[in-house]
Each structure stands twice: as C-alpha cells, then as structure tokens.
C-alpha cells in the first residue's frame, strides 16, 4: 500500500546567480554552434560582486565576443541598475577560456562518448507534460515572478528569486498544495516602518499576482500555507550577496528530486558530452514509454565509457507500474533508440544553438519546438512491439 506523504521541489528565477552562470555558459555554447556546429565547448562561469569569470575549454575556428555576449545577457535578465547590486554596464568580465585536450578529442572524433558517467531520465503521469507536479508548479511560480517584474505588474521586484512547493500526496497521487514559498528580491519601497519586513499589503499583492494565477485553485484550500520572503526582506540579492556557478542547480534542472540525478550538470556542454545529450535521450525514452501507456512512471539509466560509442549499460525501472516486464522494455529501448553519441545528436538535432533557453526553468517538461527530447514520436512503435 502506498502511504500518504509530503514532497517538496524548488525552482529559481533567471536572475538567481547560479542561473545567470548557467545562461552565460549556454549562451557561449550557442554562439559557437551558431558559427561552427562541430565546435567543442565545456564552458564554466563564476559570478560574484561586480565580477564575471568565464572559463573552460573551447575548440573552434570561430570567434566569440565574450564581453559583448555576457553584458547583453545580463542586461536581458534585468541587472540594469546598481540598485539591484549588479550592473551589466559596469561589471568586470574575465575571459579564461582555453582549447580542449587532444587526449579527449581523439576519442570523441571517432564517435565515442566525451566522458564516462551515468545519466538518468524520468517521466510520470502527474501532469500533461509527464513530469512530477511539484517541480512543474515551482517552475510556474518562478516564471511568473519574472513575468510580473518585466511587465511592470510588480515593478518593485528584482531579478533574483526562488520558489518552493510542497505537495500532499494521498495513496501516491498528488492531492493538494500544502505549502508555497516565494522569495523575491525587491526595492525598499515595500518595507514597513521598521525597515525589516515587507508590508502585509505587499505580501498579499505578491500572492495574488504570482501564486494564484498559476496554481490550479483546486489544489489550494484554506489550509495552504504561504510564505513570502520569510526572513522579512530581500533587498540585497543577486551576485551582491551570493556567488553563482554553472551547474549548481541540477535538481532544479531536472525532476525536483522526484528521480535520481546522473553524474554531471548540463549547461555549457556541447552535445558530445553525454552528461547532457544522453540525459536528454534518457528523458526522451522515459517519456515515450509513459506516453505509450507501458508504465505509469519510468526511470531510465544510461551509462558510458569515455571514447566508447555504445552505452555500457541500459536500465529501465518502472517502480511496479509497468504493463510489460522491465527487461522487455529494455530490449524495446535498444531496438528503437540509437544510444550512441552520434545517434543521440542526430535523433534530437543537438548541433544547433538551442541551449540558452534550457538554462532557466528546467530542461524537461517544456513545450518549445527546440526541446526535441520532449517529443512522443516513438509511441506507436513501442506500442506495436510491446
């Protein structure tokens, strides 16, 4: 018998320092792929007070204007005024990029994986996107925080922000939202007379403008708890108060903790790096299995050795919800999905500048056309052979 439980997931806005770094790393990758689809990129970014450092290994014959690219991206995120503690015009930018090791290249050039590692994909029936409900709600809240800021609906909000959603499950199924946490950077104009708390009017305004428009009213009730900036205020935010680094929000990027995570982060890595491309393939496989109604939930693990094309292992686990044996599903996966790095890149069309949008609000459960790993075009084949 499946017991009742609470499950929590979080998300962060595009202005969170870690997400700023993810977006910069993926913007560098996209600029390389735009000019050189075969370019190799492993780009890491670090941000702190008044400083951005972009480093890593890039192999390409083309030129990337790091200064221009970084400033434009930070501007678009919203760090356009020093009142937010960071300004795209005045921040220092350090370029510390070098070429990729030839020892790695010699294994990748012949079609092998760009690194060893294990990668995980997941899907379940909790939402139309076949994603866990808590992470999808958390992403909706952070997207809405960004929207109301950029559209001037709540013009006192700053770029940095977080959400957290706790969902109550009954007999293994999501039943209601127990708790919502919203933390958003803001200006001093909504502080009360003590200067230590936002006003109750501002708190209620944020709940009304951010939470209620995006959360299904059927999931909310009079017992749902709302925390808005629970420390009291959030005036100092962004890189002024918190360093950021590429790859530190891996659970936000994937399934909100509902599924295991593989061995590496995604942003700043070209598709020869199976940390990224094989994780996308694992999601593609899991989503098609669930969409084909062969299971209610599905976890797929792939693993690779550096320089070797075929995966060293393929595992399909459906947590007792499968309608055909897991071993049979594994055989179907090997038959219908090309799991070599080249096959993954071709199947999902990954040698394109499509990655910057993945760097905020999750890599999975997205509906944009460029998120090719969200397609369910293998359903008929899987159902026929199952």
- State the first-to-last Cα distance of the chain, in angstroms, to the nearest integer: 28
**What's the predicted TM-score (pTM) here?**
0.94
Let me know the angle formed at the C-alpha of 318 by 312 and 321, rounded to the nearest 5 degrees. 160
> pLDDT of 174-215, one tens digit each?
999 999 999 999 999 999 999 999 999 999 999 999 999 999
What is the spatial distance between Cα 373 and Cα 222, in angstroms, rounded to a whole number? Answer: 39
Query: If you write DSSP's letter for every residue of 57-125 in order, what string do you get?
Result: EEE-SS---HHHHHHHHHHHHT-EEGGGTEETTT-EEEEEEEPPPHHHHHHHTTT-BSS-EEEEEEEES
**Token couple for 291:** 């969409």
> pLDDT of 373-384, one tens digit each?
999 999 999 999
Query: What pLDDT, on a 0 to 100 scale, did the predictor assign at position 182?
Result: 97
Query: What pLDDT, on a 0 to 100 scale, did the predictor assign at position 103?
Result: 55
- The pLDDT confidence band at residue 3, using thresholds 50, 70 and 90, is confident
Side-chain half-sphere CA neighbours of 158 within 13 A? 30
Q: Which CA distances in Å does 357 have to 50, 93, 267, 362, 370?
A: 24, 22, 10, 9, 9
> pLDDT of 216-230, one tens digit each?
999 999 999 999 999
Partners of 251 in the β-ladder: none
């Amino acid at each position: 018998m499946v017991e009742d439980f609470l499950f929590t997931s979080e998300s962060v806005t595009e202005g969170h320092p870690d997400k700023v770094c993810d977006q910069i790393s993926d913007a560098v990758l996209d600029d390389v792929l735009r000019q050189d689809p075969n370019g190799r990129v492993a780009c890491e970014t670090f941000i702190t007070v008044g400083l951005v450092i972009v480093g890593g290994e890039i192999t390409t014959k083309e030129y990337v204007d790091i200064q221009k690219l970084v400033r434009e991206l930070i501007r678009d995120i919203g760090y356009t005024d020093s009142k937010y503690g960071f300004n795209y015009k005045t921040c220092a930018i350090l370029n510390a990029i070098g070429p990729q090791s030839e020892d790695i290249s010699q294994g990748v050039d012949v079609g092998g994986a760009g690194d060893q590692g294990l990668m995980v994909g997941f899907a379940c029936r909790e939402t139309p996107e076949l994603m866990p409900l808590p992470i999808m709600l958390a992403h909706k809240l952070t997207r809405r925080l960004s929207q109301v800021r950029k559209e001037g609906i709540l013009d006192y909000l700053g770029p940095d922000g977080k959400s957290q959603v706790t969902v109550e499950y009954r007999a293994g199924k999501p039943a209601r939202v127990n708790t919502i946490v919203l933390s958003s950077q803001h200006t001093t104009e909504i502080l009360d007379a003590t200067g230590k708390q936002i006003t109750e009017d501002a708190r209620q305004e944020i709940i009304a403008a951010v939470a209620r428009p995006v959360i299904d009213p059927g999931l909310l009730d009079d017992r749902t708890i709302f925390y808005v900036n629970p420390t009291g205020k959030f005036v100092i935010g962004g890189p002024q108060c918190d360093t950021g680094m590429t790859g530190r929000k891996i659970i936000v990027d994937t399934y909100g903790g509902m599924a295991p995570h593989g061995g590496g982060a995604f942003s700043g890595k070209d598709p020869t790096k199976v940390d990224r491309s094989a994780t996308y393939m694992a999601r593609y496989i899991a989503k098609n299995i669930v969409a084909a109604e062969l299971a209610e939930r599905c976890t797929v693990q792939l693993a690779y050795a550096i320089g070797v094309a075929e995966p060293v292992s393929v595992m399909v686990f459906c947590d007792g919800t499968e309608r055909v044996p897991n071993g049979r599903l594994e055989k179907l996966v090997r038959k219908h999905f090309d799991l070599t790095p080249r096959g993954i890149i071709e199947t999902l069309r990954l040698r394109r500048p499509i990655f910057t949008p993945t760097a905020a609000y999750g890599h999975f459960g997205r509906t944009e056309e460029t998120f090719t790993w969200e397609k369910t075009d293998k359903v008929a084949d899987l159902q026929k052979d199952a």
